[in-house]
Structure 1
Amino acid sequence: MNVRRLIPSAALAAAVALGATALTACSGAGGDKDGKLDVMASFYPMQFLAEQIGKDHVKVNALTKPGVEPHDLEITPKQTAQLGEADVILYLKTLQPAVDKAVAQSGVKNVVDAGTLTKLEAHGASGHDHGHEGEGEAGHDHGHESEAGEDPHIWLDPAKYAEVAQGVGKALEKADPDHAADYKKNTDELVGKLTALDTEFKDGLKNTASKTFITTHSAFGYLAERYGLDQEGIAGVDPEAEPSPARIKEIQEIAKKDNVSTVFFETLASDKTAKTLATDTGLKTDVLDPLEGITDKSQGADYFEVMRSNLKNLQKALGAK
């Protein structure tokens, strides 16, 4: 009788011990099997922050796969399910409507909108001007701007990206307090590197023959504003939009007046518009990468390498002294 009563007691004790072990493995580090914090990032700039700050304590998945234009992302049912199981979601509201919808339905507690971690501003096709006459006919597409017309491309300004990094660091500390000291240390290191990059851009673009650059994708408003440059977008914020004949004529006049030598295109969208304009105006073409994703065509393996390639290409195009 006593023996029979002891067996379930032992089994119960073992089960309790197992449960406690499982709880310990999950506490402060999400429900991932290997004890790591499960972070879902919407696209590359968010993924990069999570990896740099989380390092060995996180497992990072990205909704936007390499080579996919983030604005065009459609989310699969499998991704929607993965999103719901994440410990932390890191995204940038208004950039990807499909992601916004899935995040709102995910039920995840720790959701970080990078746009709330720094100040968003409105930028039109021109970095120093909020609009051009005839932009509507140029197929100007505000589909991934916020309702207030705010520009989401904050990661292309290293100083703003550093502010976002600090906010992401705090969010990871809150989600996984056991490793808070490591997240803080990693955040400080990353912010230090971004501050150094900001200085490189300031020094590298201080003295240039021209201050105007022409690009197919108006993603560089924050960068232009930070370093005293003027961005002229061929067709506004949509990299695939076709510019109107009036906008092409306007760009040609700007190129002549502001001593512009180069039309920039990007790696994830078609270069057809840039090459047509360059041929019509006798300008050169080069890459200015909005860093929405890294592929084997990117001019660098990560954020810092590609940003330094962007700096080099800008210096060459603007006649840096």
Structure 2
Amino acid sequence: MNVRRLIPTAALAGAVALGATALTACSGAGAVGSKDGKLGVTASFYPLQFVAEQIGKEHVKVDGLTKPGVEPHDLEITPKQTAQLGEADVVLYLKNLQPAVDKAVAQSGVKNVVDAATLTELEAHGASDHDHGAEPGHGEEGHAHQEGDEHSGEHAGEHDGHDHGGGTDPHVWLDPVKYAEIAKGVGAALEKADPDHAADYKKNTDELVGKLGALDTEFKDGLKNTASRTFITTHSAFGHLAERYGLDQEGIAGVDPESEPSPARMKELQAVAKKDNVTTVFFETLASDKTAKTLATDTGLKTDVLDPLEGITDKSQGTDYFEVMRSNLKNLQKALGAK
């Protein structure tokens, strides 16, 4: 009889233990937040991780969901990572950039979720942001949104491997002005989540915004006078940057770096390169450079790196956001013939 009594008791104990585990997993301020008494922040990929580290400094413990060297668009989330998300005090992500992250965030039940897409304005940019009727070298006037582009309807579906929220371009961090707006929003979120250190978060936010303002000036001055305003890139990630500095991005593929261009697009780019005095085809560190090299060989152009800063690896031209952005500026100046 004692034996029979023990069985339900053991089962009950197991159920209680399971219930306690489930409660811990669902708790907003779980294990990540309580590590060394720091605020636990989970960032979906490098640009948001960098902002959180710069603003949070010693008060936060930042975990990144996208490991260095992984293409963020292709990220798959493990059940373990989804559970860890649920333990974060603050989650930072950019909606429509990484579908797997969007799903995991929705399931996580975290109270403090910051969608960087709501902190600044995302615009539509496609593989071709170029007004083919404009004269090169006219800065903003020679620049057109993709919606007004005579080729936009023809190529939109062909180049955009992912639907980024109704055709908007998620790569806002490549525009230092928009990135500064994101920084302010992240700073405000950290202040709200951890009011005890609000003064430090505010000071660090102001400092980061100041540095981004200086970077914006460097780009503005550095790209003011160039022989050409057009650059060709494998990954159409630079629409916001092009828009900011009056340049024309011609993407071989779309916002998804892995999509293959059509022969018609390759032919069109050869014509653009000739017409607009293009010297260089840019590729990025995280995706294959095969297409860039093919186009460069066919057109007699050089190749160089333009980094969309979706992750930092030992192949990156710099160790953080600012260093890589300055490398991008130098490479653009060289390709565009900056005076």
TM-score over 0.5 (shorter chain):
yes
- Detail structure 1 runs of 4+ shifted over 6 Å in the superposition: none
Q: How does 1:268-283 map to 2 (within 5 A)?
A: 268-283=286-301
Compute the RMSD of aligned alpha carbons: 1.6
Tell me the residue number matched to 2:137.
none
Q: Which residue identity is paired with 2:245? A: Y
Q: Aligned partners of 2:181 and 2:246: how far apart in 1? A: 20
Unaligned runs of 5+ in 1: 1-25
Q: In terms of mean alpha carbon deviation, does 37-46 or 230-239 score higher?
A: 230-239
Give the TM-score of the pair, scaled to structure 2.
Answer: 0.84
1:30, CA displacement in angstroms? 7.8
Q: Aligned partners of 2:33 and 2:211: how far apart in 1? A: 32
Q: Deviations over 1:76-106 (max 9, x none)?
A: 1111111000000000000000000000010
Contact 1:41 1:89 in 2 (8 A): yes
1:136, CA displacement in angstroms? 5.5
Contact 1:93 1:114 in 2 (8 A): yes
Tell me the residue number matched to 1:104.
106
Tell me the residue number matched to 2:182.
164
Give the TM-score of the pair, scaled to structure 1.
Answer: 0.89
- Aligned to 2:37, what secondary structure does the other structure show? coil
- Aligned to 2:62, what secondary structure does the other structure show? strand
Tell me the residue number matched to 2:318.
300
Tell me the residue number matched to 2:74.
72
Match 1:60 to one of 43, 46, 62: 62
Q: Which residue identity is paired with 1:264? A: F
1:141, CA displacement in angstroms? 2.5
Q: Aligned partners of 2:324 and 2:257: how far apart in 1? A: 19
- Aligned to 1:236, what secondary structure does the other structure show? coil
Q: Aligned partners of 2:156 and 2:109: how far apart in 1? A: 38
- Aligned to 2:249, what secondary structure does the other structure show? strand
Contact 2:126 2:156 in 1 (8 A): no
Kindly indicate whether residue 254 of structure 2 is the aligned counterpart of residue 252 of structure 1: no
Kindly indicate whether residue 176 of structure 2 is the aligned counterpart of residue 174 of structure 1: no
Q: Which residue identity is paired with 2:79? A: P
1:235, CA displacement in angstroms? 1.6
Q: Deviations over 1:251-271 (max 9, x none)?
A: 000000000000000000000
Q: Deviations over 1:167-211 (max 9, x none)?
A: 000000000000000000000000000000000000000000000
Tell me the residue number matched to 2:122.
120
Contact 2:112 2:193 in 1 (8 A): yes
Tell me the residue number matched to 1:135.
155
Tell me the residue number matched to 1:289.
307
- Aligned to 2:250, what secondary structure does the other structure show? strand
Q: Which residue identity is paired with 1:73? A: L
Q: Deviations over 1:236-282 (max 9, x none)?
A: 21111111111001000000000000000000000000000000000
Q: In terms of mean alpha carbon deviation, does 123-132 or 230-239 score higher?
A: 123-132
Match 1:198 to one of 216, 219, 241: 216
Contact 2:126 2:160 in 1 (8 A): no
Q: How does 1:301-320 map to 2 (within 5 A)?
A: 301-320=319-338
Tell me the residue number matched to 2:9.
none
Tell me the residue number matched to 1:39.
41
Q: Aligned partners of 1:269 and 1:220: how far apart in 2? A: 15
- Aligned to 1:89, what secondary structure does the other structure show? strand
Contact 1:294 1:302 in 2 (8 A): yes
Match 1:234 to one of 233, 252, 255: 252
Q: Which residue identity is paired with 2:113? A: V
1:32, CA displacement in angstroms? 1.2
Contact 1:97 1:144 in 2 (8 A): no
Q: Which residue identity is paired with 1:207? A: N
Q: Deviations over 1:124-144 (max 9, x none)?
A: 11233415253267x422415
Unaligned runs of 5+ in 2: 1-27, 130-143
Q: Aligned partners of 1:30 and 1:271: how far apart in 2? A: 38
Q: Aligned partners of 1:136 and 1:119: how far apart in 2? A: 21
Q: Aligned partners of 2:94 and 2:154: how far apart in 1? A: 29
